[in-house]
Amino acid sequence: MKTASVRPSPLRGPIAALLAWVIPGAGHFFIGERGRGLIFMITIALTFWGGVAIGGVKNTVNPQDRALWFLGQVCAGVHPFLAIAWSRQVEIPVGADKARWIAYGQMEDISIVYTAIAGMLNLLVILDVLIRAERQGMTQPGGRAGPASERAGP
């Protein structure tokens, strides 16, 4: 007796990719790979916010002064937008040492690179979830994956 295979929605991959961009790892949760999603979620968040911790929230994510770096940072999904919102809420106290609030020199460069690397890592996560969603959509009855031409055996 043959079992009818249910074709997943053609939007499954794009939805997973969009979720992976907005919240790194969320796309993997969506397709049922929770362990992998949690690892990506933690790794990208720690990389991004580690960069912010090194350079300070006031200047690490700055789309006006560092537009090209911001393109890399924005790939980390919601994180750079949260950093921008937070930086607008933080005011440097009058008379305070600005160097304690804003990183300069090498520390600033390191922080910007960390946050952009988090975005580039998330691009890999987005591609990974697209491929995994597509492969899951090709799963044949009986647990075999891939188009029939790629499968060996009867």
Q: Say which residue the tokens 């700055």 belong to.
A: 62
- Rg (Cα) of the chain, in Å, rounded? 21
Q: Are the C-beta atoms of residues 140 and 31 closer than 8 Å to each other?
A: no
Mean pLDDT for each consecutive 10-residue tract of the chain (154 residues)?
61 94 97 96 97 88 91 96 92 73 76 95 96 80 48 46
User: How many beta carbons lie within 10 A of that of residue 60, not counting itself?
Assistant: 30
Torsion of CA 5, 9, 10, 16, to 10 degrees: -120
Predicted pLDDT of residue 6: 55
Q: End-to-end distance of the chain based on CA atoms, in angstroms?
A: 16
Predicted pLDDT of residue 150: 47
pTM: 0.79
Q: Which string of DSSP letters, residue by residue, matches the chain?
A: -PPPPPPPPTTHHHHHHHHHHHSTTHHHHHTT-HHHHHHHHHHHHHHHHHHHHHH-TTTSS-TTT-HHHHHHHGGGTHHHHHHHHHHHH--PPTT--GGGTS--THHHHHHHHHHHHHHHHHHHHHHHHHHHHHHHHTPPTTS--S-GGG----
pLDDT tens digits for range 14-35: 999 999 999 999 999 999 999 9
Predicted pLDDT of residue 30: 96
For residue 17, give Cα distances in angstroms to 20, 21, 42, 121, 130: 5, 6, 17, 14, 6
